[in-house]
Structure 1
Amino acid sequence: MNKRQARYFAIGSTLVATLVFLGLTLDSHRQFPKLTNAQNITPAVTLGKNVWHKNNCINCHTIFGEGAYYAPDLTKIAQQRGAPYLRAFLKDPSKFYDEQRHRRLMPKQNLSDADIDGLIAFLDWVSRVDNQGWPPRPITVTGAGPGAGGMALPQAVVAGSTTPAGASISADADKNPVALGERVFRSAAPACTACHSIVAGADMAGPSLAGIATRTQQTLASPAYKGKATDLEAYIRESITHPSAHLVAGAMYSADGVSFMPNTYEKDLTSEQIGHLAAYLATFK
């Protein structure tokens, strides 16, 4: 290739690259309203965005990967935690974390009820933006209650198999209720792993599920139990579909008589999926 050919090649390549760039830019702007749910930007969402900026939340947290990495990414927090949890947390973070024990530094912002509702609306809008799967992993901050251990979860629990030791998993996992239940545990929306660990003492937004089978027997035998279940599987089903049927006394997993557990699983999961999930959780002795 001589100098003239090289020059023409460079000019042509630049023009082609420029046209591709402009085309992609125009296509992105064309899709922005759909991807960002622009039609759902209500006055409450706008108020919440202003509260977010006014209180410098981005100095510690990230959304869409933008901000500081000192505290958890909040892109999907509204789906992972739910409004009751967020409202109680924003009113008084100290009820969830002990700064001396857990080294949590979330300050009490003294937000008004209107500001809290707006911030939750903003975070809910953020969580519904099509951001191509960001963040790439679930929130793994522990210490959601007074008795929480405040430790980081083992990587095997966060990213690997969550099958409990001793559980019998057949080679034909597609037909094994326990194996199918493990899949539901990791893939439900929101994923159970976003709020629950299977490590004893590693409480998150919800209690650790280690030993749930043993604890359930104690709960069912207690006069304080207010639900309708009579056995382990029924109790687990009830906890999934009607999480406020029985609230754990003294634990920071509910507020004003409402569990922080999402109440949408009965609608979002099939009865068969709930059965598989119950079979899986029943193996945690």
Structure 2
Amino acid sequence: MNKRQARYFAIGSTLLATLVFLGLTLDSHRQFPKLTNAQNITPAVTLGKDAWHKHNCINCHTIFGEGAYYAPDLTKIAQQRGAPYLRAFLKDPSKFYDEQRHRRLMPQQNLSDEEIDGLIAFLDWVSKVDNQGWPPRPIVVTGLGAGAANATIPSTTTATDPSTSAEGAATAMTGKDPVALGERVFMAAAPACTACHSLTAGADMAGPSLAGIATRTEKTLASPDYKGTATDLTSFIRESITQPSAHLVPGAMYSANGASFMPDTYGKDLTPEQIDQLAAYLATFK
């Protein structure tokens, strides 16, 4: 290739690259309204966006991967936590964290009720933007979550597990072992249980750690303070899934105004079989 050919090749390549870039840019702008749910940008969303910038939330948090990394990414926080939790948290973050234990504490922003409602609306809008699956992992508040390397996850091949027998092994292999199926439900429910519950003792997140739930349940059912209708471990777990406000732990920051922060939609979103499987799985945490 001589100098003239090299020059023409460079010019042609530049023009082609420019055309491709412009085409992709125009196509992106064409899709922005649909991808960002622009039609759902209400005055409350705008107010929340302004509060987000006014209080410099991005100095600690990220949305869509943009911002600081000192505090959790909040892209999907509205789906993972829900409005009741966010409202109570924004009112007084100190009730959810202990600076000595967690080595960090979100400052009290003294937000007005209008700003809190706006921020919740803004974060709800953000959570519904089609961001191609980002962030890839559920939010972790305390640094420990279900699936962490040191999580205490019960084995489905223990001595008391039916899969240790020939019949049980065959059942597990055909995908009918309720404990194994319950673990899948725990990881894949929408929103995923792992977004709020840890399987590591002492690692409380938006909801309490589920390590030792079987032992705690025995004490709860025997307590005169228990307000639910469950009579045993399995029915208590079912009740906690389908009616999370049936029994609220006194003094615990997992509820506000007499209602649990846990969504009350799992009874509709999960089939009775899935709930039974989830109960069977969680019952193994002694």
- Shift in alpha-carbon separation, 1:96–1:21, aligned structure 2, 3 A: same
Q: Secondary structure at the match of 2:108?
A: coil
CA RMSD of aligned residues (A): 2.0
Q: Secondary structure at the match of 1:125?
A: helix
Q: Which residue of structure 1 lines up, in the alignment, with residue 20 of structure 2?
A: 20
In structure 2, runs of 5+ residues without a counterpart are: 164-168
Aligned mates of 2:12, 2:64 — CA distance in 1: 36
Q: Write the mapping of 1:229-244 to structure 2, written as runs, cut at 5 A.
A: 229-244=230-245
User: What amino acid is the match of 2:266?
Assistant: Y
Q: Which residue of structure 2 lines up, in the alignment, with residue 249 of structure 1?
A: 250
User: What amino acid is the match of 2:71?
Assistant: A
Q: Which residue of structure 1 lines up, in the alignment, with residue 92 of structure 2?
A: 92
TM-score norm. by structure 1 comes to: 0.90
Q: Which residue of structure 2 lines up, in the alignment, with residue 176 of structure 1?
A: 177
Q: Which residue of structure 1 lines up, in the alignment, with residue 154 of structure 2?
A: 164
Q: Which residue of structure 1 lines up, in the alignment, with residue 75 of structure 2?
A: 75
Q: Which residue of structure 1 lines up, in the alignment, with residue 126 of structure 2?
A: 126
Q: Is the 8 A contact 1:46 1:118 kept in 2?
A: yes
Percent of residue pairs bearing the same amino acid type: 83
TM-score norm. by structure 2 comes to: 0.89
In the TM superposition, what is the alpha-carbon distance from 1:275 to its structure 2 partner?
A: 1.8
1:69-126 Cα shifts (integer Å, max 9, x gaps) = 1111111111111111111111111111122332223111111111111111111111
1:110 matched to 2:104? The reply is: no
User: What amino acid is the match of 1:158?
Assistant: A
User: What is the aligned length?
Assistant: 275
Q: Is the 8 A contact 1:61 1:69 kept in 2?
A: yes
1:34-90 Cα shifts (integer Å, max 9, x gaps) = 111111111111111111111111111111111111111111111111111111111
* Residue among 133, 139, 144 paired with 1:153: 144
Aligned mates of 2:259, 2:22 — CA distance in 1: 51
Aligned mates of 1:158, 1:269 — CA distance in 2: 25
Q: Which residue of structure 2 lines up, in the alignment, with residue 276 of structure 1?
A: 277
Aligned mates of 2:236, 2:154 — CA distance in 1: 20
- Shift in alpha-carbon separation, 1:236–1:48, aligned structure 2, 3 A: same
- Shift in alpha-carbon separation, 1:57–1:5, aligned structure 2, 3 A: same
Aligned mates of 1:37, 1:185 — CA distance in 2: 30
In structure 1, runs of 5+ residues without a counterpart are: 143-151
Q: Which residue of structure 1 lines up, in the alignment, with residue 166 of structure 2?
A: none
Aligned mates of 1:153, 1:100 — CA distance in 2: 16
Aligned mates of 1:190, 1:86 — CA distance in 2: 15
Q: Which residue of structure 2 lines up, in the alignment, with residue 41 of structure 1?
A: 41
| Greater Cα radius of gyration, structure 1 or 2 | 2
Aligned mates of 2:269, 2:152 — CA distance in 1: 22
Q: Write the mapping of 1:191-202 to structure 2, written as runs, cut at 5 A.
A: 191-202=192-203
Report the more deviating stretch, 109-118 or 163-172.
Answer: 163-172
User: What amino acid is the match of 2:144?
Assistant: L
Aligned mates of 1:13, 1:185 — CA distance in 2: 52
In the TM superposition, what is the alpha-carbon distance from 1:159 to its structure 2 partner?
A: 7.1
In the TM superposition, what is the alpha-carbon distance from 1:160 to its structure 2 partner?
A: 9.5
